[in-house]
């Protein structure tokens, strides 16, 4: 399930942000987004 969220986040970010491999902030945003989605999923399953 985590991989699906990660792929969705990656596709969203790559479509709206310029894809530059030397830009680490994109990776940071992606990790933040994925962790937020994971938290929401855990909260809903409680």
For 1-29, what is each residue's pLDDT tens digit? 677 887 777 777 666 555 555 556 667 77
Q: What pLDDT is stored for residue 32 in this prediction?
A: 82
Residue 46: count other Cβ atoms within 10 Å of its Cβ.
4
Does 26 or 39 have the greater pLDDT score? 39
Least confident of 21-25, 30-34, 36-40: 21-25
DSSP the chain: -HHHHHHHHHHHHHHHS---TT-HHHHHHHHHHHHHHHHHHHHHH-
Residues 34 and 5: beta-carbon distance below 8 Å: yes
Please tell me the distance from the alpha carbon of residue 32 to that of residue 22, in angstroms, as a whole number.
18
Q: How many domains does the chain have?
A: 1
Q: Where in the sequence is the domain holding 30, given as residue range(s)? A: 2-45
């Amino acid at each position: 399930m985590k991989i699906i969220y990660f792929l969705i986040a990656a596709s969203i970010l790559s479509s709206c942000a310029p894809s530059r491999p030397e830009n680490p902030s994109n990776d940071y945003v992606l990790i933040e987004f994925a962790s937020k989605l994971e938290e929401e999923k855990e909260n809903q399953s409680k």
